[in-house]
Amino acid sequence: MTNPTSYKTALVTGASRGIGAAICRHLGQLGIQVHAVARSADSLKAICAETGATPHVADITDTAAMEKLMGELDIDVLVNNAGAIVGLGPIETLSASDIDQMLDINLRAPLQLCRIALAGMVKRQRGHIINIGSTAGNYIFPGTSAYAAAKAGITAANRVLRYDLAGSNVRVTEISPGRVETGIYRQALNNDDSKVDALYKDMRSVHPDDIARSVVTALTMRDGVDISFMEVVPTDQAPGGHRYPSQTQQTS
C-alpha cells in the first residue's frame, strides 16, 4: 500500500503483545517503518518477524538507554503505548515498588520519550505524538489509584503539549481506551486465568485491533487536522454511580 501519511518512521513502545503488537501490524500495513520496543525479546522478535518492524529490546524506564536508541533514529511518530497495572487494590495494600513502577512505566517514561522525540520533530517541523491513556484517568475504577493518577497525568500533559507545540506542525493525540481484551491485568491478578477470563466473560470488550485502527485514523487525518482526544470504549461499558458509607458509618 502507498503510505497515505507524510510519516516515514514510527517508534511503538509495548510492542511485544496486546495493543502495541496490533499497532505494529497496522502501521506496517500503512507503509510506515516501525521501530518496536519492549523487554520480552522472544515475543518482540516474533511480532517483528510477522510485521516487518525492527525490534529494540529495551526498558522504557531506562531513560539513558532510550536516549541512546532514539538518538540514532529519526522518528516521525512516537506511540507511547507501553503500560502496566502492577498491583490492584486500595493504595495502603500496594507495595512501595508497585506504586513506583506504575508511575514510572505509565507516566515518567512516556514524558521522557516525548521530550526525546520532540527535539527532532520540532526541528523537522513534522511529527505526531500518540499517547495511549486510559478511561481510568477520567473515571473511577476501584483499586487503581496509582495507575489512574499516572493516566490522568498523561491527559494533562497532552493538553499542555498541544499548547506548547502550536505552530510547530507536530500533532498530538491521546487515545483513551476502556476495557480492551489483553493480558494487562494478568500480573496484578497473579496470573490467575479464571480471574483474568472473568474480566472479559460477561461483556463485549474492545479488541487491540480497534485501538490500532484508532491510531491509524489519527495518523491519516489530512495535514493541519488533529484528533486531540479519542475515547474508545466497549458499547457494554459505561462509567457512573456513587458509593455511600453505610448508615452505621455515618456520624450524623
Ligand X SMILES: NC(=O)c1ccc[n+]([C@@H]2O[C@H](COP(=O)([O-])OP(=O)(O)OC[C@H]3O[C@@H](n4cnc5c(N)ncnc54)[C@H](OP(=O)(O)O)[C@@H]3O)[C@@H](O)[C@H]2O)c1
Q: Which spans of this chain sit near ligand X (rule: CB under 6 A)?
A: 13-20, 37-40, 59-61, 81-84, 105, 132, 134, 177, 179-180, 182-184
- Smallest gap from Cβ 247 to ligand X, in A, equals 35
Smaller CB distance to ligand X: residue 18 or 127? 18
Q: Which of 86, 107, 105 is nearest to 96 (CA)?
A: 86
CB of 29 to ligand X, least distance (A): 19
Round to whole Å and give the CA distance between 47 and 173. 25
Helices and strands of the chain, counted as H and E runs? 8, 7
* 163 carries an active-site annotation: no
* 126/144 with CB nearer ligand X: 144
- Helix or strand (DSSP H, E) at 47: helix 41-51
Residue 184 or residue 219: which is nearer to ligand X going by CB? 184
Q: Given the residues 7, 139, 147, 244, select the one marked as catalytic.
A: 147
Torsion of CA 230, 236, 241, 247, to 10 degrees: -150
Q: How far is the CB of 190 from ligand X (least distance, A)?
A: 15
Query: Do 129 and 175 meet the contact criterion of CB atoms below 8 Å apart?
Result: no
How wide is the angle at C-alpha 114 spanned by C-alphas 180 and 63, nearest 5°?
95
Determine the Cα–Cα distance for residues 110 and 74; give it in Å rounded to an integer: 18
Query: Please, what is the minimum distance in Å from the beta carbon of residue 16 to ligand X?
Result: 4
Closest C-alpha to 151, from 193, 182, 184:
184
**How far, in Å, CA of 63 to CA of 68, rounded?**
9
What minimum distance in Å lies between the beta carbon of 124 and ligand X? 26
Instruction: For the sheet with 77-80, list strands across it.
Output: 54-57, 33-38, 9-13, 77-80, 127-132, 170-177, 229-232
Give 78 or 126: the residue with its C-beta nearer to ligand X.
78
**Shortest Cβ 39–ligand X spacing (Å):** 3
Question: Rounded to the nearest 5 degrees, what angle is found at the Cα of 23, between the Cα atoms of 81 and 127?
Answer: 70
d(CA 136, CA 176): 9
| CB closer to ligand X out of 74 and 231 | 231
Q: Which residues are catalytic?
A: 147
